[in-house]
Structure formats: structure tokens, C-alpha cells
């Protein structure tokens, strides 16, 4: 008898051990089971009937958490969250059930899809890859449905505190939203974008006022690029080509990569216009479309026509590029960059910190000061807003010009 009792007790202990991790009904204040509410290992779970993709009903276990994402700790909290889940199921807004991928894995898959498609330019993809590497470092281990606005805000606050400007912050948020929108709208594995309300709108930025790059400074820059240092060594290795490059941008408003990708076939001397339809890509010299994916023409002005005729007179006979690479060898490619020459010439001339975009600004500003209407300037430089940006950002006029205009006012 005693042996049988011992055996039964042992079996009971094994049975209890087997069911230690099983679900048990949650009991309410009246000592009655609460329908649909269960407990396992100290955690509360909802047992919901949901509709599968094939239209059939299936049962799912959902861990109950507070709106802040913390585990539910009391029966009243669990009852409240269960009611909320049932309402969401009725409204077809039930949270994703089951494990979602981590942000790092999903971001990698997103980039792979983007690279396989043809919707985005290589430079855009490269930028997204760089920014997403930072987001992965911050959010990488979190599953998509566990990302909260506080996680996003903490990263952006850290970046802004480190001195990142608001324009870059806006770009970082846009790229994060690209990934999360695909998870929400395409793959339907999250319901909401976990982006704080303040970051859902663009951070207000104030465009820095650019000091006008003058014709005198352009001449100083070119003179320095062609000069020799105190030891008799040339300041730059490609002085003449560098001068041709910066003058062309100053006289046409072309962006730096657009100028690099110009062919002589793009120059129409008879029609007196320059066609800009592509820009240089990465270090491999691969070409892309222009920034807004549309070609444009720049009508010759006196300086641009004179400059292109001078360049044509000493054009390299074995290359179709306006700026062929000195290291092109058997494969004819355009120059990759003139940044080093810019830095050397700028330092030799003791000029302020001017960059290639200042040459584009130079062109636009002098067009404005010459009385050209904003819509025409916008057409030349590839703005699709009909000249609005010209008026807001590029309307900085030289002091002597404003004084001359003031003298024309007649009362």
C-alpha cells in the first residue's frame, strides 16, 4: 500500500512539473475564471480567435502589455488590456501577432530590394545605406513591433546634441520612415510608425546665408591653381583643367557631378546651348540622371560661350569628355574629382572656405542681379518649383547692386 502511494506521489510530481509552464485560467475578484484571460509563468495572456489569410478562424496567444510596452502585472490591468485587444480586433487594428523581424534584419532586406530595383539612383541608395547603418547600431536588436517613439527620439536627441544640423536630421528621419513604411504598408507587419509627432514633421531649418562668391575670388582661385609654390612646385597637378571646370560651373550653374559627366556632344555651338542630362556617380565613374531626373538646357551667356570656345580650341582629340581623366589609360573615362585641387588652390590663395556649390550660387546670384526672371533661372539650374526657391534662398544681392537699384527709385 505504502509503495503504491509513493509511486502515485512521484507520478503526480512529474505531472505537475510537465504542466508548470502550461496556461492556467486567470481568476477574477469573484473567484471566477475570466473568459479569454490566462496566466503562465506569472505573465498574463489573451487567447483570441482571429481570421487567417484563408478566411479560417485560428486561435492566437497574445502577451498582454501596457500601452507603454511594459508587462501587465495585475488582474485589473490584464482585463483592461484584454478589452482593448478585442476592440482592436473588431476595428481590424489588432497588433501583429507572432515575432516580427529585428530592425537590423529588416533594414538589410529593404536595402537588398532597393538595390535590386531601378527606382532609386546609386548615390541615393549609398546615402540610405550609410544612414541605416547608424539606425541599425541604435535599433538593430529590437523587433519592429517593439520599437517605440522614445527609441527614435533618444537617437535623434543624441545626434542633435552632437552638433548635427536639422537638415541632416530630417534626412535621417525620412530614411528611417522609408523602411518603417514598407513594414507597415507593404509587408503589413506593423500598424503604426513609431516616430515621435515632433519628428513626423520636418524640423524647421534656417538656410545659412551664403556670402557671395565674387568674380575677383574666382580669378584668385584660378590664378592660385596655375601658380607655383615657394619651392617652384606647381600648386596643383591639373591647374588648367581645374580652372576650366570651376569656370564652367560659375558660368552655367551646373552641379559638380553634372559638370564632370559632360560630353562635347552636349555642347551645341550652333544652337548656343548646353544640355545637362546626367551626372557622375561614384568612384567607378558610373553615370546617373540629374538630381531631379530630368535633362535641362542652359542657354549660352557671353562668358559661357567664350569659355567653351576656348576649351574647344584645346580639346583632347581622343576623348568625348569635357573633363577627361588624366589616368584614363585604355578606358576613356571622365575625371573623378577636383576636390584636392580646390583645397590646394584655396589654401594658396588664402581664400575663405568656399566650395563647389558656391560656384552654382555665384551663377544664380549674378543672374538675379542682372535682372533675369526667377522662372528662367530656375529652368537653367534645374529647379522644378518655377523660381520659388530662387526668390527665397538665392536672392542675396551684392551691396553695390542694391545701392545701384536704390538709385533708380523715382518718386
- In this structure, the answer to whether residues 131 and 242 fall within a common structural domain is no
Average pLDDT for the chain: 81
Of the three residues 175, 200, 225, the one that is the final residue of a domain is 200
Residue-level pLDDT at 283: 45
Residue 41, domain member (yes or no): yes
Q: Which residues contact 340 (CB under 8 A, 6 or more apart)?
A: 236
331 pLDDT higher than 60 = yes
Mean pLDDT of 268-286: 80
CATH of the domain at 196: 1.10.150
Mean pLDDT of 230-248: 93
Structural domain harbouring 387: 215-406
Q: What are the CA-CA distances from residue 57 to residues 12, 63, 96 (Å)? A: 36, 19, 16
Q: What are the CA-CA distances from residue 382 to residues 275, 341, 387, 390 (Å)? A: 11, 27, 10, 11
306 pLDDT higher than 70 = yes
- The answer to whether 210 touches 220, Cβ cutoff 8 Å, is no
> Which residue in 209, 242, 267 sits closest to 335, CA to CA?
242
- In this structure, the answer to whether residues 56 and 181 fall within a common structural domain is no
Looking at mean pLDDT, say which of 219-233, 372-386, 389-403 comes out highest.
219-233
The pLDDT confidence band at residue 307, using thresholds 50, 70 and 90, is: very high
Question: How far apart are the C-alpha atoms of 127 and 242, rounded to whole Å?
Answer: 27
Question: How far apart are the C-alpha atoms of 411 and 409, rounded to whole Å?
Answer: 7
Q: CB atoms < 10 A from the CB of 362, how many? A: 23
Instruction: Judge if pTM exceeds 0.75.
Output: no
The pLDDT confidence band at residue 14, using thresholds 50, 70 and 90, is: very low
pLDDT, tens digit (0-9, with 9 covering 90-100), for 310-319: 999 999 888 8
Question: How far apart are the C-alpha atoms of 270 and 319, rounded to whole Å?
Answer: 21
Residue 133, domain member (yes or no): yes
- In this structure, the answer to whether residues 335 and 379 fall within a common structural domain is yes
The pLDDT confidence band at residue 388, using thresholds 50, 70 and 90, is: confident
Q: What are the CA-CA distances from residue 67 to residues 77, 80, 84, 299, 397 (Å)? A: 11, 11, 10, 60, 54
> Which residue in 15, 9, 89, 85 sits closest to 50, CA to CA?
89
184 pLDDT higher than 70 = yes
**Least confident window among 83-87, 98-102, 313-317, 397-401:** 397-401
Amino acid at each position: 500500500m505504502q509503495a503504491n502511494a509513493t509511486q502515485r506521489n512521484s507520478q503526480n510530481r512529474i505531472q505537475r512539473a510537465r504542466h508548470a509552464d502550461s496556461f492556467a485560467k486567470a481568476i477574477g475578484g469573484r473567484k471566477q475564471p475570466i473568459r479569454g484571460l490566462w496566466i503562465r509563468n506569472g505573465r498574463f495572456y489573451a487567447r483570441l480567435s482571429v481570421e487567417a489569410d484563408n478566411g479560417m478562424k485560428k486561435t492566437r496567444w497574445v502577451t498582454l502589455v501596457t500601452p507603454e510596452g511594459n508587462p501587465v502585472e495585475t488582474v485589473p490591468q490584464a482585463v483592461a488590456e484584454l478589452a482593448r485587444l478585442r476592440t482592436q480586433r473588431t476595428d481590424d487594428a489588432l497588433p501583429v501577432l507572432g515575432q516580427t523581424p529585428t530592425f537590423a534584419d529588416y533594414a538589410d532586406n529593404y536595402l537588398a530590394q532597393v538595390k535590386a530595383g531601378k527606382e532609386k539612383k546609386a548615390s541615393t541608395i549609398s546615402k540610405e545605406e550609410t544612414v541605416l547603418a547608424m539606425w541599425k547600431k541604435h535599433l538593430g536588436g529590437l523587433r519592429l513591433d517593439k520599437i517605440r517613439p522614445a527609441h527614435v527620439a533618444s537617437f535623434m536627441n543624441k545626434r542633435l546634441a552632437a552638433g548635427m544640423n536639422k537638415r541632416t536630421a530630417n534626412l535621417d528621419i525620412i530614411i528611417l520612415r522609408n523602411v518603417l513604411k514598407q513594414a507597415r504598408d507593404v509587408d503589413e507587419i506593423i500598424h503604426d510608425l513609431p516616430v515621435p509627432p515632433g519628428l513626423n514633421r520636418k524640423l524647421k531649418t534656417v538656410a545659412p546665408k551664403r556670402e557671395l562668391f565674387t568674380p575677383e575670388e574666382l580669378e584668385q582661385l584660378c590664378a592660385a591653381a596655375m601658380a607655383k609654390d615657394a619651392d617652384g612646385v606647381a600648386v596643383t597637378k591639373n591647374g588648367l583643367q581645374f580652372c576650366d571646370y570651376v569656370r564652367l560651373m560659375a558660368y552655367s550653374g551646373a552641379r559638380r557631378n553634372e559638370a564632370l559627366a559632360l560630353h562635347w556632344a552636349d555642347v551645341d555651338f550652333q544652337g548656343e546651348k548646353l544640355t545637362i542630362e546626367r551626372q557622375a556617380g561614384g568612384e567607378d565613374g558610373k553615370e546617373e540622371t540629374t538630381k531631379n531626373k530630368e535633362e535641362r538646357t542652359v542657354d549660352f551667356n557671353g562668358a559661357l560661350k567664350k569659355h567653351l570656345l576656348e576649351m574647344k580650341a584645346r580639346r583632347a582629340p581622343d576623348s568625348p569628355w569635357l573633363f577627361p581623366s588624366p589616368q584614363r589609360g585604355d578606358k576613356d573615362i571622365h575625371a573623378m574629382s577636383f576636390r584636392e585641387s580646390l583645397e590646394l588652390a584655396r589654401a594658396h590663395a588664402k581664400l575663405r572656405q568656399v566650395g563647389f556649390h558656391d560656384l552654382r550660387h555665384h551663377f544664380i546670384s549674378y543672374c538675379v542681379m542682372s535682372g533675369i526672371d526667377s522662372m528662367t533661372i530656375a529652368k537653367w539650374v534645374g529647379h522644378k518649383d518655377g523660381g520659388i526657391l530662387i526668390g527665397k534662398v538665392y536672392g542675396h544681392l551684392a551691396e553695390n547692386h542694391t545701392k545701384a537699384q536704390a538709385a533708380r527709385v523715382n518718386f
